[in-house]
């Protein structure tokens, strides 16, 4: 989008995902260390229920930006981060109720050897799912637990939760690091599909929370490799 233009002329087409499935949406995306865009979709949604196995995980790479399917089928593509040495991709398909790891080949932009590093069912009942995810400078994963109102910090080597923070809302959606030293944890939440009675109990639903003094900080993110981005 060119902020100095108005209407459709401000938009530049890049790519289309999940052609033939118009109710699917691009649900999560991040940039790898070589500037590729990785993004995943989710299928049709009615209320809190999402159709299973209708999405996929894609990557886009300059100069042609042709969507490359990295994983299929996917139900709800969510959290997606790389280990600090770029050898592992951590990934969440929420309906699987697992946090998965893949071997990651940075040069080729390929993933392989999928395995779970945490089973959500070991900690919570069926409705709770993992949503957005980020990583800190110490290599620990931070994950938003949707329908439970908390965020957790995971040691991916020990494959266990090491910290847990409760929030005054149920629908916790995602996180990122901010601040001069990337030491503020920004947590997003939702109020979607909540009835008036639920909203009365959770007046802060949908708010953005900032958590300070977490004892760690975020890792530097990467920029999308997009040559000629200004050429319309």
Please state the residue numbers annotated as binding site for substrate.
27
**What integer pLDDT is reported at residue 230 of this predicted model?**
80
Q: Give the CA diameter of the chain.
A: 51
Establish whether 131 is a catalytic residue. Answer: yes
Q: How sure is the predictor about 153, in pLDDT bands with cuts at 50, 70 and 90?
A: very high
* Right CATH for 22-211 from 2.70.98.10, 2.40.30.10, 2.120.10.30, 3.40.50.300: 2.120.10.30
HEC assignment per residue over 19-70: CCCCCCEEEEEEECCCCCEEEEEECCEECCEECCCCEEEEEECCCCCCCEEE
Supply the pTM of this predicted model.
0.94
| Position 114 pLDDT exceeds 80 | yes
Which of 131, 157, 183, 195 is flagged as catalytic? 131
Q: How sure is the predictor about 197, in pLDDT bands with cuts at 50, 70 and 90?
A: very high
- The first and second tokens of residue 162, run together, are 């090491």
Please state the residue numbers annotated as binding site for a divalent metal cation.
78, 131
């Amino acid at each position: 989008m060119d902020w100095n233009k108005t209407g459709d002329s401000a938009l530049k087409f890049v790519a289309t995902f999940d052609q033939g499935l118009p109710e699917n949406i691009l649900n999560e995306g991040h940039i790898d260390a070589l500037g590729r865009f990785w993004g995943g979709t989710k299928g049709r949604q009615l209320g809190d229920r999402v159709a299973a196995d209708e999405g996929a995980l894609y990557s886009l790479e300059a100069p042609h930006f042709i969507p490359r399917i990295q994983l299929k089928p996917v139900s709800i593509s969510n959290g997606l981060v790389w280990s600090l040495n770029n050898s592992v991709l951590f990934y969440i398909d929420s309906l699987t109720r697992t946090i998965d790891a893949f071997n990651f080949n940075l040069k080729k932009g390929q993933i392989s050897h999928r395995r779970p590093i945490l089973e959500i069912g070991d900690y919570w009942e069926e409705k709770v799912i993992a949503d957005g995810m980020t990583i800190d400078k110490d290599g620990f994963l931070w994950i938003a637990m949707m329908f439970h109102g908390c965020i957790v910090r995971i040691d991916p080597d020990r494959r266990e939760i090491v910290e847990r923070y409760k929030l005054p809302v149920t629908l916790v959606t995602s996180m990122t690091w901010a601040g001069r030293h990337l030491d503020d944890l920004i947590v997003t939440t939702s109020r979607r599909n909540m009835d008036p009675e639920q909203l009365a109990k959770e007046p802060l639903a949908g708010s953005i929370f900032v958590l300070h003094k977490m004892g760690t900080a975020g890792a530097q993110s990467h920029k999308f490799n997009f040559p000629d981005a200004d050429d319309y």
